[in-house]
Every structure is written in structure tokens, then in C-alpha cells.
Amino acid sequence: MIALGCDHAGYPLKEAIKQYLDSIGEQYTDFGTYSEESVDYPIFAAKTAHAVADGECEKGILCCGTGIGISIAANKVKGIRAAVCSDAFSAEMTRKHNDANILCMGARVISEEKALELVRIFLTTDALHEERHLRRVQMLKDMENGKM
Ligand code: RB5
């Protein structure tokens, strides 16, 4: 189950992502927003991030104008590693090296076509289980627990 969220700027892209996920038979929960009426991105980042952190959803995808505000907000939730990506290499590497669990994208930054490519890569790339990457992700968890 994929958690989806956006603000008004990201709304059209989130709808396109839903169509793409439908086409590949991937299930999702849509945490809003549900129109292009102006809203505050932290609200939708929080709903989406908590669904991932609580294990209700395996991964998340968030969209706002730049992808930045909504990623900053998502990363405030313990257990979340949200990465803003604009290119295929970053989408691949943030899964492999960071075990990112939320992909953030800027609807005013990249094309819909590019965004769907990044979604495909993000959903199909596994984290590498190499010691150095596991160690670094563990350090991120230690930071959340006040150990660093
Ligand atoms: C909304 O205008 C815009 O500020 C928001 O979508 C996002 O880009 C913030 O980081």
C-alpha cells in the first residue's frame, strides 16, 4: 500500500500518479489534498508520513510545488526518510543507499512524465543491504532517538 499526499500545487501531479498506480495495479491510500484550493503542505505531509511510519503503508509519495516544503515536513516524523528527487539517478540511489521511504517531487520543477519515471524507479528499487549503508541509516535512527 502506497501513501499519497500533496498540497494544492502538487494536486495535479498526485492525480497523474494515481492513474499510473492504477495502471500497474498498485494500491494506494490518498491522504489529500483533493483539489487545487490553497492548503498548508505540513498537514498532508504529516498524514502521509504517519501512515508510513506506523506501517499502515509501505512507502509514500508526496508532491508540492518544489517538493521541498513537503519533504521538510515529512522528515519531522520519526521513522521517515523523505527524499526530494528530480532525476532518475537520485530516485534510484535514495532507495539503494538511504532506504528512503517517501519520494517527494516538485510539480513546478519536473514534468509529469519525469515524475512517473521516478515513481516507477522508487517503487521497484530495493535498499542495498551492505554494511556501510545499513550503518549510516542506523545513524539516522540514532539521531531520532537522541543518541547522536
Ligand atoms: C505553494 O505555493 C508552495 O509554496 C508549496 O507547494 C511548496 O513548493 C513549498 O515548499
Candidates 6, 57, 63, 64; catalytic one: 64
Kindly indicate the confidence band of residue 117, based on its pLDDT and cuts at 50, 70 and 90.
very high
Q: Is residue 5 in contact with ligand 1, taking CB distance under 6 Å?
A: no
Look at residue 25 in the predicted model and tell me its pLDDT.
98
Residues above pLDDT 70, as percent of the chain: 100
> What would the pLDDT profile of 53-103 be if each residue is shown by its tens digit?
999 999 999 999 999 999 999 999 999 999 999 999 999 999 999 999 999
Look at residue 51 in the predicted model and tell me its pLDDT.
99
**Is residue 140 classed exposed, middle or buried when 0-12, 13-18 and 19+ CB atoms within 10 A define those classes?**
middle
pTM exceeds 0.75, yes or no? yes
Residues above pLDDT 90, as percent of the chain: 100
Q: Is residue 65 in contact with ligand 1, taking CB distance under 6 Å?
A: yes
- Give the separation between CA 22 and CA 134, rounded to whole angstroms: 32
**Is residue 24 classed exposed, middle or buried when 0-12, 13-18 and 19+ CB atoms within 10 A define those classes?**
exposed
